[in-house]
Amino acid sequence: MRIFESPIQIGISACLAGDKVRFDTGHKRSNFCMDELGNYVEYKKFCPEVAVGMSIPRATIRQVRVGDTIKVCRPDGSGEVGEKLTEYGKTVAHEQAKELSGFVFCAKSPSCGMERVKVYNEAGTGNSSEGVGFFAAQVMKHNPNLPCEENGRLSDPHLRENFVTRVYVYKHWQELNLDCVGVHELTQFHAQHKYLLMSHNYESYKALGKLLGHAAGRDLDEVKEEYIGGLMKGLSRPASRKNQANTLSHLQGYFKNFLSKVEKREMCEAIDHYRAGIVPLYVPLTLIKHHLTVHGNEYLAKQVYFNPYPNELKLRFGI
């Protein structure tokens, strides 16, 4: 795993950090964020509702569809704060989110929800889960490559692992001196992330390789922006068991001239058992890492796939 020059900073809804900023003076502390991931990152806390002047405690607010527009207000229609939340979101998006490597939002919140936020009809007699929190919408809109996730979804081991992977890859990208990065350096970066990206989205790996192969003569800033956009989009698809197994099989091929028949059979069985869901990813991965240590391979040793984040997080134990 790469050692970064500066701490990883992640934005987080303040209530998820344990701050008592909710309407009822409560919080929604995320144990994973604060007790596990928090050992490796720094958080910048945001409560948009408090930031726009709402008190603690306060009346609840909701998203309400009025004609063709959606406003954020109290259930009785008073105290509309949608415009203030939007403007605050734009400010954070432009002035602070650029320094972040990820963001964890509070699910279902009319200000912070990433998706499936309830939007009520004007009469308050029904709702649909079609909204996006007004604050979160601006952060995501103006920082489309920023890894974002909701607290509830982080309970899923695959989504949790996927989010942390994206955070670390994005931080790696942020620490490149992009003003001094040319096609050669981009190609090296792409090569280091080859098997990680293959395990998530093989088509993205091929497309980005083609992008860099045809970069000569193009505006380099445009190439960089297209590349990181494609990389983060490709990684946003959680790695499937099938793709992981295919990636492991590719890696196995590097050792075919070094292993005995027994060792080859052992590795094939470990990959097949993972493919079938009998063992978690770390079982065949640990075996391949063992052979890499014994036999050595400079190219593979640089692969982010083997250690995308601190092993102590144990994220591959559950997938």
85 and 21 within one domain: yes
What's the pLDDT score for residue 90?
98
Q: What is the CA radius of gyration of the chain?
A: 22
180 and 259 within one domain: no
192 and 61 within one domain: no
- C-alpha–C-alpha distance, residues 233 and 227, integer Å: 10
294 and 208 within one domain: no
Domain end, chosen from 235, 265, 285, is at 235
b/e sequence 119-136, b meaning 16+ C-beta within 10 Å: bbeeeeeebeeebbbbbb
202 and 254 within one domain: no
What's the pLDDT score for residue 178?
82
196 and 280 within one domain: no
125 and 96 within one domain: yes
245 and 226 within one domain: no
Domain span at residue 246 reads 241-310
Number of domains comprising the chain: 3
What's the pLDDT score for residue 276?
96
What are the pLDDT digits (tens) for 51-89? 999 999 999 999 999 999 999 999 999 999 999 999 999
Domain end, chosen from 235, 251, 286, is at 235
Domain end, chosen from 235, 253, 276, is at 235
Question: Residue 38 has which token pair?
Answer: 């928090």
Rounded to an integer, the average pLDDT of 174-200 is 93
